[in-house]
């Protein structure tokens, strides 16, 4: 069965960095487009990044230049490297497998001094 497990969230100061991971199982990860989303308290879920089968990436304007998505197919894992973090980046971050509209349970990132 499809399973997505995010990890790596935590408390970080503004300007700091954090790397999130999404461990995937139950599907052909190597052939899968994957997404990162985030949801701040009281806000709608926001698309953050896409990573293609070949590793190409697309980002929301709000994170472009600061976040980098990557994948390690040998580990069935998608990553989101987050640099120059801002308080507005505070949210629960989710990975998504769109073919089955599957979501992880999320990992909380809090950017605060």
Q: Which residue has the tokens 């909380």?
A: 108
Phi (first) and psi of residue 88, to 5 degrees:
-65, -15
Q: Which residue has the tokens 């709000």?
A: 62
pLDDT at 48: 98
Q: Are 48 and 28 in contact (CB under 8 A)?
A: no
pLDDT at 11: 98
Q: Give mean pLDDT, residues 3-18.
A: 98
Phi (first) and psi of residue 100, to 5 degrees:
-115, 10
> What one-character-per-residue DSSP string does 66-99 give?
TEEEEEEGGGTEEEEEE-S--GGG-EEEEEEEGG
pLDDT at 64: 98
Rounded Cα distance between 46 and 112, Å, is 20
What average pLDDT does the structure give for the chain? Answer: 98
């Amino acid at each position: 069965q499809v399973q997505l497990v995010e990890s790596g969230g935590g408390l970080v100061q503004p300007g700091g960095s954090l790397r999130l991971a999404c461990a995937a199982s139950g599907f052909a990860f190597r052939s899968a487009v994957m997404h990162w989303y985030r949801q701040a308290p009281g806000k709608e879920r926001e698309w953050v990044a896409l990573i293609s089968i070949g590793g190409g990436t697309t980002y929301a304007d709000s994170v472009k230049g600061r976040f980098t998505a990557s994948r390690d197919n040998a580990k069935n894992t998608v990553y989101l490297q987050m640099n120059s973090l801002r308080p507005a980046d505070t949210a629960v971050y989710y990975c998504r497998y769109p073919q089955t509209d599957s979501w992880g349970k999320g990992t909380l990132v809090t950017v605060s001094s």
